[in-house]
Structure 1
Amino acid sequence: MTLKFEKLKSSDAAEIYEIEKISFSEPHSLASVAAAIMNPACEFWVLRDAPDDTGADGAKTEKIAGFIEFWLMYDEAHVIDIAVRPEYRRRGLGRRLMDFLVEKSAEAGAKKIFLEVRPSNSGAISLYKEAGFVDAGRRVKYYKDEDALIMTRDVEVVSA
């Protein structure tokens, strides 16, 4: 398994949408994934699995193992979406995505990162806490069926 970060391409939208449907009870639509590509404030990165071997047809069968979408605005970053394909879970990819988020946010001059998470999503909450996030409040009725926890993390800005 050889993993590499790449910016989302328009040709990736359908694969991202498939991961969305598998991962979330309220997935983003294919149209919203496509719109994110065009949004200049949006950073949408994929963690692509580029296998060392080739398939039966001689072509490499790369696929997206996970992704993270976040917005950079002023001195803040806001996580919109993060997911790892089920067969890649429990391998540290979520943490790699979070570390990448912090690195890119610091490079952009962000001082704080925000995200929302379902209180029932204990796995995600554990990941975010491991990545240095702390509870910062609640958004009432953020999801159709429950509130959202707001979590934040300070970022050490990288000097150029």
Structure 2
Amino acid sequence: MLTRQTYKIRPSEMKDAPQLIEMDALVWDIHTSPAPFHWKSRQQFLQHCPPGSQLVAVQGERVCGYVGFYPATGMPVNRHVYEINIAVHPNDRRSGVATSLMHAMKEYAREQGIHKLRLRVLSSNPGAIAFYTQCGFETEGRLVSEFYIAGKYVDDILMSYFIRNER
């Protein structure tokens, strides 16, 4: 059984790429993303997600989950904002990995001088919306009927969390 004592969180490394590619194929589908990640090669993955651009929860050498982060735009006036995404291996869900990753992401962002974390979530994913709300994220906007997925219009919900300087 996976417990907080049996996994650690660290920045992603080159050796994690195969497991992260596999996890993306397992986690991202029409219920979780309008454009699921399907990497054509390790090189393509590494160009999009270079080592250090994710915090990973690992048990030994096995990756249990990750939170990816990157500057929201390339503009200097927006460098205080990270866009994030989070995924947990299906076998490790409901074990506290996602919550631990989110706490680690907030701390890392604080250390990097980041002021705001933002993410996007489909309205058809109420479990994710509840999780983000529980983690302190608030809805900033809603793009109504932004996507047409599996025969239904789906809203794109924009959520954010403001990093406080207090510990």
Fold in common (TM above 0.5): yes
How large is the Cα RMSD of the aligned pairs? 2.3
CA distance 1:28–1:138, shift in 2 (3 Å) = farther
Superposed CA deviations along residues 96-140 of structure 1, whole A, max 9, x for unmatched, are 111111111111111111100111111111111011001111246
Note the 1:85-96 alignment, pairs <5 A. Answer: 85-96=89-100
| Rounded Cα–Cα distance in structure 1 between residues aligned with 2:23 and 2:12 | 14
Equivalences, count? 145
CA distance 1:34–1:133, shift in 2 (3 Å) = same
**Pair 1:152-2:160 in alignment:** yes
CA distance 1:5–1:143, shift in 2 (3 Å) = farther
**Pair 1:68-2:61 in alignment:** no
**Pair 1:34-2:46 in alignment:** yes
| Rounded Cα–Cα distance in structure 1 between residues aligned with 2:14 and 2:69 | 17
Superposed CA deviations along residues 57-99 of structure 1, whole A, max 9, x for unmatched, are xxxxx210101101146211211x2111111101111111111
Contact 1:107 1:158 in 2 (8 A): no
**Pair 1:48-2:53 in alignment:** no
TM-score, reference length from structure 1: 0.79
Which residue of the other structure, out of 85, 104, 111, is the alignment partner of 1:107?
111
3-state SS of paired residue (1:106):
helix
* Same amino acid, percent of matched pairs: 26
| Rounded Cα–Cα distance in structure 1 between residues aligned with 2:99 and 2:125 | 16
| Rounded Cα–Cα distance in structure 1 between residues aligned with 2:50 and 2:23 | 20
Which residue of the other structure, out of 87, 106, 109, is the alignment partner of 1:83?
87
3-state SS of paired residue (2:129):
helix
| Rounded Cα–Cα distance in structure 1 between residues aligned with 2:128 and 2:17 | 23
CA distance 1:88–1:134, shift in 2 (3 Å) = same
CA distance 1:141–1:105, shift in 2 (3 Å) = farther
| Rounded Cα–Cα distance in structure 2 between residues aligned with 1:133 and 1:85 | 22
TM-score, reference length from structure 2: 0.76
CA distance 1:97–1:36, shift in 2 (3 Å) = same
AA partner of residue 134 (structure 2): E
Partner of 1:129: 133
| Rounded Cα–Cα distance in structure 2 between residues aligned with 1:28 and 1:135 | 28
Q: Which runs of 4+ in 1 moved over 6 A?
A: none
| Rounded Cα–Cα distance in structure 1 between residues aligned with 2:45 and 2:148 | 20
CA distance 1:130–1:18, shift in 2 (3 Å) = same
